[in-house]
Amino acid sequence: MAEKTKLWYLQNFNMFEGMSPKMMMELAQNTSMQNNSKKEIIYFPEDASNTIYFLKAGKIKIYRLSEDGKTTTLQLLGPGEIFGESAILGQDTHDNIAEVVEDAVVCAMDKRDFQDLMEKSPNLTLSVNKFIGWRLRKIQAHVEDLVFKNASQRITSFLHRYVETFGKKMVDGWMVRPFLTHQEIADLTATARQTVNQVLNELAEQDVIKFSRRFLQLKGDLDQLET
- Residue 44: the pLDDT is 93
Average pLDDT, the chain: 86
Residue 70 near residue 88, CB atoms below 8 Å: no
Q: Where are the alpha helices (DSSP H) in 149-209?
A: 151-166, 182-189, 193-205
Give the C-alpha separation, 42 to 106, whole Å. Answer: 10
- Residue 97: the pLDDT is 94
Burial, 100: exposed, middle or buried (Cβ in 10 Å; 0-12, 13-18, 19+)? buried
CATH class of 3-147: mainly beta
Whole-number percent of the chain with pLDDT over 90: 38
Task: Name the residue type at position 125.
Answer: T
Query: What H or E segment, with its residue span, contains residue 115?
Result: helix 111-120
What is the tens place of the pLDDT at every residue in 110-162? 999 988 888 888 888 888 888 888 888 888 888 888 888 999 999 999 999 89
Reported confidence tier of residue 8, pLDDT bands at 50, 70, 90: low
Whole-number percent of the chain with pLDDT over 70: 93
For the chain, the domains span: 3-147, 151-225
What is the tens place of the pLDDT at every residue in 197-213? 999 999 999 999 999 98
Give the C-alpha separation, 199 to 94, whole Å. Answer: 34
Instruction: Provide CB contacts within 8 A for 20, sequence distance 6+.
Output: none
Res 11 pLDDT > 80: no
Res 37 pLDDT > 60: yes
What is the tens place of the pLDDT at every residue in 64-81? 887 887 788 888 998 888
- Residue 25: the pLDDT is 82
Give the C-alpha separation, 107 to 64, whole Å. Answer: 23
CATH class of 151-225: mainly alpha
Among 39, 117, 114, smallest CA distance to 84 is for 114
